[in-house]
Amino acid sequence: MKVNVNACDVEDLLKIPGVGEKTAQKIIRTRGESPFTLHSLCDLLRKDPQEIEKVVTFEEVNIQSDRSHELSDMKSTMDLCDERNAAFSWEETRPKKHVRSYMPADERREAPPASQYDEDRRRRRYSAEFQEDQHGRYLREHQRSGQLHNRHSRRQYGYDSDESDDEPEHSRKFIQPPKSLIYSVDEENGAKVCLKASERETALIRFQNAKQRIEKSIEDWAERLHHLALYAFEEEAGAGLWKRDIKQMVLKFCTGCADREAGLHAANMRPESLDEATTFILQYQFNHAAVYGRKEDSSPEAAVRSVRSRRDYSEERSPPRREYRRREATPVWNRAERTQNPRESWGERRDYSPRQDRPPFKPPQERREVTPPGRSREAEPDQPQLKDLLGSMMAGLESRLGRMMDDKLSNFASRIESKVSSLSLRVEKMEDRIDKLEKSRRSPSPKTRSTSPLTCYGCGSSGHFISQCPVRGVKSVRFEDPKNGTGSE
């Protein structure tokens, strides 16, 4: 059954199932008030006027179509509404773009569409997890204040919905909440207050921020990370951690390693367990040390150890000697407190003063002659005796140097003579070789031209060549005709 919307009366509208007399009169009245022709009944009976743009325009409406259920659903709604809300015209302004309002969730018509992943959705997921009570207990007083702070921060960032997205639980628990939702500053007391999130979320934050310390070994780092993962992730019933959690734990083990190059190598190998990742890292470190040598330690502790002497470092590493030095320690002046207090920590500074063995300071006095111990001033020799002693020493040195120079010069002269004789022999040999080479390279002189007269090979007379011989005949060419047998020269 089809009804023309623009050319129908009340009786035609009453034939439509689900349309009463009051509704039909309102349709006729709205059609008369409209400045142009209506397109369909759905334009008048839509639930939300903002969705008029989505209606497909056509002249006639088939009541038995899929849209017929809208008529019966809207009958009771239009009867309860007043005339102003029920009969709207096309003269109204088009719906504006969606603007976020701070209306309660039950009063809003629809929630804003979450078409993309953003910061607000992350805050909303965290708030949903924060409000869950895992042990079935009520939140304490400080937790309630933290929840109020969480709501205030979400309103401040422009989100007003408490509904959570329909996403799996494992995709929400990997999200690290912002620090503004975990910590807040108490202005009155000036202290840092924790908002007491759940134990699993706190363990997850510690797991994500964990890194290997320089003084810890690879095995200690693997054990510590596995301990944090047991608290941060949920365990499968009777099977330990889930496979996705193990992958994240192994990746965190590689990226948080102190040796970044070894950690990168292990991550590229894609290990499936902590044992494989540990093996890859240790193997890389061993091969690197075998090829390039031991890697230099760039930690601050290594720099301090390089500056200190080996003895001090060994004393610091050995506990018995350290305790022994601490028992003998003397108070050190503390400049910050201006009091004499012994140092508590052994690593900051030595607990003994090296100045305690130094003699007290004495002002400078006038110079005076000091005799060495065990010798009296009377036993010292006089000045003439010293001169004679020095003269004898110089004479002995000169004679010794003269003999040494004579020996050196004689040896040098003999060496020079032997060298000159050997060089002269070599020069003579070279001269002989040069003479032999010159004789072998000499070529015979070219033959001279004979002075005998020229003779002709044709006639045998002299004085001309065969080309100029007068006896030589003239060459002629004869052509014969094959037809008549005659020829011509």
Q: How far apart are CA 437 and CA 301, in angstroms?
A: 78
Q: Which residues contact 39 (CB under 8 A, 6 or more apart)?
A: 5, 55, 57, 58, 59
Where is pLDDT greater, at 283 or 95?
283
Across the range 334-362, mean pLDDT stands at 46
Residue 115 forms part of a structural domain:
no
Do residue 272 and residue 239 come from a single domain?
yes
Residue 270 forms part of a structural domain:
yes
Do residue 246 and residue 285 come from a single domain?
yes
Q: How far apart are CA 312 and CA 333, in angstroms?
A: 22
Do residue 260 and residue 319 come from a single domain?
no
pLDDT of residue 346: 41
Over pLDDT 90: what percentage of the chain? 8
Residue labelled with tokens 């020493």: 393
Inter-residue contact 38 to 31 (CB < 8 Å): yes
pLDDT of residue 293: 82
pLDDT of residue 231: 82
Residue 419 forms part of a structural domain:
no
Nearest to 329 by CA among 350, 308, 351: 351
Q: How far apart are CA 293 and CA 187, in angstroms?
A: 55
Residue 27 forms part of a structural domain:
yes
Do residue 20 and residue 81 come from a single domain?
yes
Residue 16 forms part of a structural domain:
yes
Domain end call among 162, 179, 197: 197
The string of pLDDT tens digits covering residues 150-192 is 554 554 444 444 444 444 444 333 344 444 444 444 444 444 4
Do residue 32 and residue 46 come from a single domain?
yes
Whether 222 has a pLDDT exceeding 80, the answer reads: yes
Q: How far apart are CA 156 and CA 153, in angstroms?
A: 5
List the domain range (segments joined by +) for residue 43.
2-86
Do residue 174 and residue 236 come from a single domain?
no
Residue 49 forms part of a structural domain:
yes
Do residue 281 and residue 260 come from a single domain?
yes
Token pair belonging to 277:
């990742």
Across the range 300-315, mean pLDDT stands at 53
Where is pLDDT greater, at 406 or 163?
406
Do residue 186 and residue 267 come from a single domain?
no
The conformational region for residue 3 under phi > 0 = left, psi -120 to 50 = alpha, else beta, is beta
Q: How far apart are CA 276 and CA 269, in angstroms?
A: 9
The string of pLDDT tens digits covering residues 52-86 is 444 333 333 444 444 444 444 454 445 544 444 44
Do residue 191 and residue 213 come from a single domain?
no
pLDDT of residue 473: 67
Under DSSP, the state recorded for 342 is -
Inter-residue contact 94 to 49 (CB < 8 Å): no
pLDDT of residue 121: 67
Which amino acid is it at 393? M
Residue 94 forms part of a structural domain:
no
Residue 452 forms part of a structural domain:
no
Span of 114-128, 255-269, 469-483 with lowest mean pLDDT? 114-128
pTM comes to: 0.27
Quick one: the chain helix, strand, coil %, rounded to 5?
Answer: 50, 5, 45
The string of pLDDT tens digits covering residues 268-305 is 999 999 999 999 999 999 999 899 887 665 555 555 55
Do residue 56 and residue 14 come from a single domain?
yes
CA distances from 145 to 2, 159, 191, 194, 196 (A): 62, 19, 16, 11, 10
Do residue 266 and residue 312 come from a single domain?
no
pLDDT of residue 214: 85
Q: How far apart are CA 410 and CA 413, in angstroms?
A: 5
Q: How far apart are CA 322 and CA 346, in angstroms?
A: 8
The string of pLDDT tens digits covering residues 452-464 is 677 888 788 887 8
Instruction: Find the angle CA(160)-CA(165)-CA(170) to the nearest 5 degrees.
Output: 130
Max mean pLDDT among 168-182, 310-324, 335-349, 410-424 falls in: 410-424
Ordered alpha helix ranges (H), 354-382:
none
Do residue 205 and residue 288 come from a single domain?
yes
Tell me the chain's radius of gyration from C-alpha atoms. 58
- Quick one: how many helices (H) and strands (E) in the chain? 18, 10
Domain count, the chain: 4
Q: How far apart are CA 383 and CA 234, in angstroms?
A: 101
